[in-house]
Each structure stands twice: as C-alpha cells, then as structure tokens.
Structure 1
C-alpha cells in the first residue's frame, strides 16, 4: 500500500483552537457511559418551547430571529462534516480522526459507528459524507460514501457498519459530489484535479484538470474545495478552491469551458439555483463573501451584504423554492439565513464553539401556515428545512419560523 498523507489540509479542516464549552447545566442531560459512546459528553434534545427558555443563555450563543433549537450534542473531538441519511432519520458526522458516527434525530443517541482497520491504521479527517440523491429511479439504499484526507473514498452500508468498497487516491481528497441523476460522483483534492467515478463499477471514468498552457485558464492551479453539478444538465458542473477561481466544466470537453475570478473557496460554498442559471458563491474572505453569478456569461449579478456582522464563509446553500440562503463560517462563528431580495439576515446564531465547516438540510418540520390569496407573505422563513450543522466539537440541529 502506498504511504498515506496524514497532514490536515488548509483552513477547511484545522483542529479547533478553542475547545468547545462542555455545558452540564442543560436540562435533560444524558451522560453516555457505554464504550461506543464515551466520546459523547452531553446529549440534549427537547421541545422548541423548552429550548427557548433554557439554551439561549446557557450555551453562550447569541440567537437572532425565530429559531427553535432541536438538539445539541457535545463531543470531545472536532467534527468536520455532517449529512442526513436518505430517510432523514439519522445524522452522519465525520470526525477529525477518521471515524463516522450516526446519531438518531429524535433521541440524539449514537446508532452506528463506521470505521474499519484501514481508518484505524491510517487515520485522517473525514472531509465529506454524501449519499446518492433519492428519486424514483434511485430509491433508498441505506448507503453512504465518505472521503478522507488520506486519499480514501469508502462506501458504507451503515445499518450493518459494513464497508462495501474502498477507492484509494494518491492525494489529499478534500471532498466529493454526487451527480444528480446518474450513479456517478466526483472527488476533488490538493492536486487541482477532479476525478469522476462510476459508483456501481467503482472505476474512474475521467479526470478534469488544466492544460497548463500559458495565459489560458482552463482548469485549477491549487486545491479544490467545492463542486456542484448543474441540475438542468447531464454533463455540466462547476468547482472552486484556493486559486480564487470558479471553473465551469463540461464532461464532453477536454478542459474547462469558462470561468470567473475573485472567489476564494475553502468549503462547500458553491450552489446552483433550481433552473441552473445562477450560481451562489460563499467565500472565505473579508469582503464580497456572498455573491450571485450568471452561469451563462460568468458575470456578477449582485453582491449581498446582509448585516453588520462580517463572517468568512466556509459553506452555503440556496434554500429550495425560496429566495433565502443558509451559510456559515468563521469570524463570529456564525450560521445565518439570508434573504436575497431584502438583503437582510432573517435568523442567525453567533458565537458558536467553533467555525461552521458544514451543514445539511433535513425536512421541513411543520407545514407553513395557511394564508389568504390576497395576503402577501413577506418572510419565507417557515419554508427553510431543519438544519444540522457542526461547530467545533458540537453537532446542533435547529429549525426556523
């Protein structure tokens, strides 16, 4: 076996400089004492009304807007990523030591642990956890796929704790992204390349990289931290990273077709709108960190500065069927919901235990209130799904509206 890298890559996966605050003053705290769950320090789940009374002051976080805290789980090691399972009953979390744990959304209990001999022998932070998009053509399979800094990509049958396959890359693998329709996924890493795999055959189909021709930008020149497929195309995707450039790819072309500059991506900060005509970029930079771009022309449409609190962003997504954005990052360690049209922050959680490296959408917890046809609803906050996000050593789930 080739020697594996163990270094933690870039600002996406540093160890938290400040340990997460271990609060034992939370109501209904359960301390786990079995061997599998010794790493869990506190687990707290309760109703939104109780959370409003207790948690906002005790967790040393600042809440703005109508936010319901559904659960808080504190661990003793950093969490790097999270993902809801296909049936949205569990949340999979990837740790800095290469372990993946699944937590029940209702009870907060650890239900499964995903780790094999290779993960124990060559530990490296988990950089991404994904599953195939659920549709009529792709029913629920109870599988997850994960990437690691040491170059491994592993497929898991999580209910049995079984590793189905392992793909090994000779690089630091910093993330992966599923194709919205086909059983394919793309991985990206520190060698400035994207590799496309057929999931069913576990074979590499092609790679995306620059031609190294002078004065021509047709690929990346540094680490890649984000990738997104165009939802209206079978062949088109975009990627971004440390070279301050978002590259537009077509798998029918040998190199990139077009690009735009000035976007420093350090996490999953790229997203398409549903029609596939606009791109959201959330950047790890002091200024212009939330921007909307035209996909066809690669021209900037608008820059959004929603409030006085500046935050360098690691991750961001458009909320489906709304004009809202959910994003998170460092500097104030803030997760927030932003209205694109109004250019204001609808809800925010500041002073989290660490930077917001990743989050994922769950289900819409309750149905929006019925309104008359003549009534114009200003806020769309009730249409935001519940959000699970990681911050330092904490996994937290919130709901809005």
Structure 2
C-alpha cells in the first residue's frame, strides 16, 4: 500500500481535494473535424461564427465575438496549468493528482503520461509547466520543466516519459519562470522568496527576499504567485503575490529595487510588453483588475474596464506584436480578448465549467489573403490560438 497525504498540500481549486485518487479517464474528446489534420494546428475555417453553435449551447458557454472552437477535452480530474510543447504539436496539462498528460493537437488523444514513483506516493498538484525559450542558441530539446505544490521541480524528457532530474524545495512551490536568454529559471512559493537555478548543473545560484528591516519595503511578505523577466534586460525581473505588491528585482542584489502596491496576484497575472517598458497586471479583485503600469517609475498608466462582466482574474498576458491582451479568471469563469487602445472586449467566453487558472498561446493561423471589410482588418487576425484550462476541461479556441 503506497503512502498518501491525509491533508491537502497547498492552495488549489476547491474540487481538487479529491486529488489523491489515482483513477483517470478522458470522458469525452471533441476535435474539429471539418479540416485536414495539418490545418487544425495552424488554420481555422473561414466562417467561425457559423460553426458548432449547438455544441456551444450544449456546454452552457456563452460566446461573444468571433470565436472559433478548435478542440475540447473533458477529463475526470481538475487541471491547474497547461503549456504547448516546443514544436507546438502537443499540449501538456498539469493535474491536481501530480500527473502531467500530453494531448496531440491534431487528434486530442493522450500521447504521454508523465508521472514517477514520487508523484504517485506523494501526489501534489502541478502548479506550472514550462519549457526553455527557443532560440538559435537553444534549439528544441523535447523537455518540460514542472513545479509541484509539494516542493518538487521535475525536468521531463516527455518523448520517453522520463524524469531527468528532480530539485526538492522545503516549501510549497507555486510556479517557475525561465530566463529569456540564459539557461536559468526562477521558482517561487509560499515562503515569500524567489530562488534562481542554473539549469545546466541543477544548482541554486541565489535567492531574492525581503531584508525585513523596519519601515523598508524591499521584498514580499506573503505567497508569490507570478514572476516575469524583462525581455530587454539580462538581469531584471518582477514578481507578485498575496501581499498586494509587485516587486522589481535585479539579480545582482538580493533585495527588491522598487515596488508598487494595489495588485492582488493569485496566478500568472504579470507580463511585460515586448519593449520591456510597460507591465500588465491581472489581479484577483473585483475592481481595477486589469491595469497597465510604467516599469521605470512604477506608476499606474491606465485602468482597463472592457465590459460590465465582473471577473476576478487569475492570469493575463499581452498578445505578441499587438495591442491586445488575453486574461481569464473566476466568478463568471470568463476568458477575454481585450483591446488596450479602445478598452473594449473583442471576444469572450463566459460560463466556463471552472475558473480560468492558466492558458497558453499556440501558433498564429494563416492570415486571410483578401481583407473584405474594415472590421476584419484588425489585430485580432494576429492573435494566436489559445489553449486554456477550466475545471476538468482543456479547451482550444481561435479568434477572428
């Protein structure tokens, strides 16, 4: 009889209390079938507004705008995070039972199951899945790095269902973030600290924390749920969490260099724009939950209220090379595509089966050859497909 935890190992969705049960099944899988398999990865059909209306209504989801449904995978376990593989052929999902499953983007079939004896003996929800940023210096490695609530960080060679190494932290590890250029990554958790590791030697290089001096704010005082590196800097990063503060760090010193208050982060709700001059915050609060900040001065640039749908947000990101953002949260279980310039919701999906805890961008579909109307000549055409987790469902959509 394998030992099992008797108490829940950290913060998670309410329904994940039963995560110690090891049974799993894909109860129903839906994949768009009116296009070739090759097109499913990169292309959608020309009339998204007319597709699968009956399927939308059946699942009690409310769609606004031009939303093209690509795939739906319903499971028997709550899903906490997802990530496309480096070649964007598979989609990895992290479950509350400590298992990572990879689903083929063409068929929806489960192709790999990543779990070892340690995960079976001490199951803890998977909090984040990442892979090293792809570049000429760092080609595709077919590896995924995952963090778990029980303090483990595991590197998986998913083609062979093999765990290459495990780093164990004495805390609840709530996430990780890769450096955009170096072979380094940062983990964060419930001890209000960030740890930086060298991936090549699997050793901790340094830590970032508060000095705990009186009347000085230079670090976090509660759980950290998000971290992002400045894309234009080798040394700068930001983090946010339950203490309602976003801290700005420089990896050449242990304490935060500056900060701003008023942002309650409960997921991956931090992101930099491409120039590294503005910060997007998506916070778990009813009002002022979408905000743009100036990175240099840490001053608020604007609040964005795109519609009258209230949703406490868990996650949000800038859409690359556009003025759009995608964000998701709980309450109305809403996923939005928002235009920052006009401050309106271009597309949305409401009444999902559960809160939107995480999403990931896939590939951009083939652009239309002829622009027929002004409405179609928008940046929505440049939005990649979005895979998101909602309760026990893994869903993929396309906009425009």
Same fold, TM-score > 0.5, yes or no: yes
Q: What 5-or-longer segments of structure 2 have no aligned partner?
A: 35-44
- In 1, distance between residues paired with 2:5 and 2:268? 24
How far residue 9 of structure 1 moved from its aligned partner, in angstroms, is 3.0
Match of 1:244 in 2: 244
State the partner residue of 2:38.
Answer: none
- Say if 2:174 and 2:224, in contact at 8 Å, map to a contact too: yes
Superposition RMSD on alpha carbons, in Å? 2.2
Aligned ranges 1:138-287 → 2 under 5 Å: 138-287=138-287
Counterparts of 1:43-58 in structure 2 under 5 Å? 43-46=29-32, 47=34, 51-58=51-58
Please give the alpha-carbon distance, in whole angstroms, between the structure 2 residues aligned to 1:38 and 1:155: 23
1:398 maps to 397
Q: Tell me if structure 2 keeps the 8 A contact 1:210–1:217.
A: yes
Structure 1 CA distance for aligned equivalents of residues 352 and 302 of structure 2: 29
Q: Provide the residue aligned with 1:78 in structure 2.
A: 78
Aligned ranges 1:307-318 → 2 under 5 Å: 307-318=307-318
Give ranges in structure 1 of 5+ residues lacking alignment.
20-35
Q: Deviations over 1:345-400 (max 9, x none)?
A: 0000000000000000000122244559xx79762111110000000000000001
Q: 1:30 matched to which residue of 2?
A: none
Could you report, residue by residue, the CA deviation over 1:67-109 in whole angstroms, capped at 9, with x for unpaired residues? 1000000001100000000000000000000000000001000
1:32 aligns to what?
A: none
| 2:40 corresponds to 1:40 | no
SS in 2 for 1:120: helix
Q: What whole-Å deviation, never above 9, does each CA across 1:159-218 have from its counterpart, x for those lacking one?
A: 100000000000000000000000000000000000000001000000000000001100
Taking the aligned partners of 1:308 and 1:248, their CA distance within structure 2 comes to 32
* Rounded Cα–Cα distance in structure 2 between residues aligned with 1:257 and 1:215: 15
Contact 1:40/1:75 (<8 A) preserved: yes
Asked if the contact 1:15–1:78 (Cα under 8 Å) also holds between the matched residues in 2, the reply is no
Check the 8 A contact 2:283/2:313 in 1, yes or no: yes
| Equivalenced residues, count | 380
Say whether residues 1:365 and 2:351 are aligned partners. no
2:109 is aligned to 109
Distance 2:398 2:106 in 1: 13
Q: Which residue of 2 aligns with 1:25?
A: none
| 1:15, distance to aligned residue in structure 2 (A) | 3.0
Residue 387 (structure 2) aligns with: 388
Contact 1:74 1:395 in 2 (8 A): yes
TM-score normalised per structure 1? 0.91
